[in-house]
């Protein structure tokens, strides 16, 4: 009489009645994610401190040679290194550095005792506030005053420049959630490459709809961002596809664990380092370093670049996202169907 391998499932190993070893491993994994969430968010946000905030210094017309260099040197030598100073030849050049996102502030040294600090509130209000606080303290010690002028404001409907962050995070959440739902409902690993391609194509369609939807909500619906509808929709589609494809690849190669890895990468590490509540110059070195290389940070940076800075910094952010998308697609197709033949029951003659 013929039988087949795999006809009977192996009994589950239970550590306690009704508690399997697999369940224990998954619960421990959830606990580690939870504790990692607390560690990452509290670690990033508990003590925001300016570290190496880029600042350009401009001397007034007719000032003695070396005036700007002296001021920049003095500010660059402050305890704790809150500022990373450079000298700009003219005010126009310094403003160009600000709008190109190469510096976060410009100090215009006045001919008397009054100086002006130019900031870009659209880059994140926390950095502007930190610069103002540091320079006000330093100027007061020298019997000088400083006035802050926000030359690239976030906009009346975008409190403290956070809308770009929330839009990017919304796209990221959609990307890994839809990939996770598809994996749970249809299996972590597609049985063939053709089905893997269909799954990726479905993600691409979802990404386009999601990108357009986010751009419409923040644009015409709520009026947060004025214009840039097509650019934001394209960015959103790329961001959602990048996160979705990468999450799919994680599931293909690690199974259900891949969902946890996606949450670790995109939520536990990605959100606090994205430059939302506190941009990179106010974050601890670890979070400041990883932020631009993770989708939430790259997405936030790109949205701000599109809406407020004439596209400055958008190219690099899109390259990062394209990298995630390409790796996700290739890894998904490479892993689809892997081991399928070995898993099929093989008839054995009796």
For residue 330 the two structure tokens come to: 């290739």
Same domain, 183 and 78: no
CA distances from 27 to 173, 181, 228, 257 (A): 22, 19, 44, 11
Q: With respect to residue 8, please indicate whether it lies within any of the assigned structural domains.
A: no
Cα angle value 83/89/90 (rounded, 5°): 100
Show the domain range for 91.
53-150
Give the pLDDT confidence score for residue 13 in this predicted structure.
66
Shortest CA distance to 173 belongs to which of 89, 259, 60?
A: 259
Out of 124, 150, 176, a domain closes at: 150
Strand 53-58 versus strand 347-348 pairing type: unpaired
What's the total number of domains in the chain? 2
Same domain, 300 and 164: yes
- How many Cα atoms sit within 13 Å of 78 on the Cβ side? 21
With a cut of 70, list the residues of the chain below it in pLDDT: 1-19, 339-350
Give the pLDDT confidence score for residue 1 in this predicted structure.
42
For residue 117 the two structure tokens come to: 């600090």
Dihedral angle sign, alpha carbons of residues 280, 286, 289, 295: negative
Shortest CA distance to 314 belongs to which of 246, 244, 238?
A: 238
Give the pLDDT confidence score for residue 340 in this predicted structure.
55
Same domain, 111 and 237: no
Tell me which residue has tokens 């890894």.
331
User: Torsions phi, psi of 166, nearest 5?
Assistant: -65, -35
Q: With respect to residue 12, please indicate whether it lies within any of the assigned structural domains.
A: no
Same domain, 262 and 132: no
């Amino acid at each position: 009489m013929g039988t087949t391998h795999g006809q009977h499932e192996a009994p589950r190993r239970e550590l306690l009645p009704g508690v399997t070893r697999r369940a224990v491993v998954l619960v421990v994994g959830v606990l580690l994610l939870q504790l990692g969430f607390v560690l990452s968010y509290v670690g990033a946000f508990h003590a925001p401190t300016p570290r190496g905030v880029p600042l350009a210094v401009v001397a007034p017309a007719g000032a003695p040679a070396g005036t700007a260099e002296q001021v920049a040197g003095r500010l660059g030598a402050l305890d704790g290194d809150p500022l990373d100073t450079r000298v700009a030849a003219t005010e126009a050049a310094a403003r160009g550095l600000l709008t190109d996102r190469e510096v976060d502030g410009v100090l215009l040294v006045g001919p008397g005792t009054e100086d002006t600090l130019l900031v870009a509130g659209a880059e994140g209000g926390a950095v502007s506030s930190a610069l103002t606080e540091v320079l006000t303290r330093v100027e007061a010690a020298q019997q000088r005053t400083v006035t802050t002028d926000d030359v690239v404001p976030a906009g009346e409907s975008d409190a403290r420049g956070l809308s770009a962050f929330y839009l990017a995070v919304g796209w990221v959440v959609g990307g890994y959630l839809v990939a996770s739902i598809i994996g749970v409902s249809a299996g972590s690993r597609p049985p063939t490459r053709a089905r893997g391609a269909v799954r990726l194509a479905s993600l691409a369609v979802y990404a386009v709809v999601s990108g357009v939807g986010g751009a419409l909500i923040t644009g015409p619906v709520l009026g947060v961002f004025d214009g840039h509808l097509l650019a934001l929709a394209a960015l959103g589609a790329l961001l959602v596809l990048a996160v979705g494809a990468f999450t799919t690849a994680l599931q293909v190669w690690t199974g259900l664990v891949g969902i946890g890895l996606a949450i670790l990468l995109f939520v536990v590490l990605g959100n606090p380092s994205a430059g939302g509540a506190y941009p990179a110059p106010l974050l601890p070195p670890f979070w400041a370093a990883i932020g631009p290389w993770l989708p939430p940070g790259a997405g936030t940076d790109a949205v701000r670049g599109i809406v407020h800075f004439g596209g400055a910094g958008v190219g690099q952010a899109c390259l990062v996202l394209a990298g995630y998308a390409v790796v996700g697609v290739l890894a998904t197709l490479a892993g689809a169907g892997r081991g399928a033949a070995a898993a099929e029951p093989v008839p054995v003659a009796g």
